[in-house]
């Protein structure tokens, strides 16, 4: 089997499974076979497109709607929760995928931020894989010190803020509402 075929089969295997796995492509190359590793964020974007995430429900079980964004997320956001996460909002177990689209005040799509729960990926920090994409699916750039890296994986800016979410699960959408008006 040539490597392109092998990768295609592997990709189909991911799409066929109900869960995503954190891997690029098979690590076991036969000698003389060059295995091209596709980064996980590319597989994740492909899976999101295949899953038609825009048909997923919003955080409250209703169709996703524009909401005022908080933190760095943008003026307006739309959050989508996959069926697995919606059915297990308390635990957000393996298979949970959360997507927030970030829009300007004029409703122009600026970026797509994604969280995928992946046990074993980052145990001390809630086991979330983070990614930020540009509107057409290219990965955004994350400036780390003097370097620019893909905004994917253990993205410290995402983690540092999401660690403040209620319940210690790094997710905000399932937190109970907070009364923040004074008498
Ligand atoms: C300074 C704080 C902050 C940073 C940094 C941040 N977020 Fe968020 N994020 C939030 C808040 C608050 C919400 C819920 C409200 C909203 O959607 O605006 C949220 C919501 C989300 C959601 C919907 C699920 C949920 O937790 O409710 C996803 C997915 C998400 N963020 C991904 C990311 C990614 C990926 C990054 C890094 C590229 C990131 N966030 C950086 C504060 C932050």
Per the listing, tokens 């509107």 go with: 135
Q: Alpha-carbon distance 154 to 32, whole Å?
A: 33
Return the pLDDT at 22: 56
Return the pLDDT at 30: 60
Q: Alpha-carbon distance 47 to 20, whole Å?
A: 8
CA torsion, ordered 21, 26, 28, 31, to nearest 10 deg: -170
- CA dihedral over 90, 132, 135, 139, signed as positive or negative: negative
pLDDT tens string for the chain (183 positions)?
555 444 444 443 443 444 454 545 444 556 677 788 899 999 999 999 999 999 999 998 999 999 999 878 999 999 999 999 999 999 999 999 999 999 999 999 999 999 999 999 999 999 999 999 999 999 999 988 899 999 999 999 999 999 999 999 999 999 988 787 888
Return the pLDDT at 65: 96
- List pocket residues of ligand 1, CB cut-off 6 Å: 69-73, 77, 79, 98-100, 113-115, 130-132, 151, 155, 157-158, 161-162, 165, 171-173
Rounded to the nearest angstrom, the distance between the alpha carbon of 158 and the centre of ligand 1 is 7
Cα 15 to the center of its chain, rounded Å: 16
Cβ(173)–Cβ(59) under 8 Å?
yes
Rounded to the nearest angstrom, the distance between the alpha carbon of 63 and the centre of ligand 1 is 19
Q: Alpha-carbon distance 1 to 85, whole Å?
A: 36
Q: Measuring from atom 37 of ligand 1, which residue has the nearest CA?
A: 158
Q: Alpha-carbon distance 154 to 175, whole Å?
A: 22
Distances (CA, A) of 63 to 54, 137, 177: 9, 22, 19
Return the pLDDT at 18: 41
Give the other-Cβ count within 10 Å of 28's Cβ: 7
Return the pLDDT at 13: 41
């Amino acid at each position: 089997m040539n490597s392109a075929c092998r990768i295609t089969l592997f990709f189909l295997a991911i799409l066929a499974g109900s869960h995503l796995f954190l891997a690029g492509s098979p690590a076991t190359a036969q000698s003389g076979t060059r295995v091209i590793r596709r980064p996980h964020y590319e597989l994740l974007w492909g899976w999101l497109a295949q899953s038609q995430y825009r048909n997923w429900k919003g955080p409250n079980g209703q169709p996703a709607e524009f909401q005022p964004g908080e933190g760095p997320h943008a003026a307006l956001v739309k959050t989508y929760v996959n069926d697995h996460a919606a059915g297990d909002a308390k635990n957000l177990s393996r298979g949970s995928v959360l997507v927030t689209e970030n829009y300007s005040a004029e409703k122009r799509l600026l970026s797509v931020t994604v969280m995928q729960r992946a046990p074993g990926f980052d145990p001390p920090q809630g086991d979330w894989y983070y990614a930020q994409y540009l509107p057409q699916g290219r990965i955004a750039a994350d400036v780390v010190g003097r370097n620019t890296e893909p905004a994917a994986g253990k993205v410290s800016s995402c983690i540092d803020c999401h660690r403040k979410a209620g319940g210690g699960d790094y997710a905000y959408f399932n937190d109970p509402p907070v009364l923040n008006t004074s008498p």
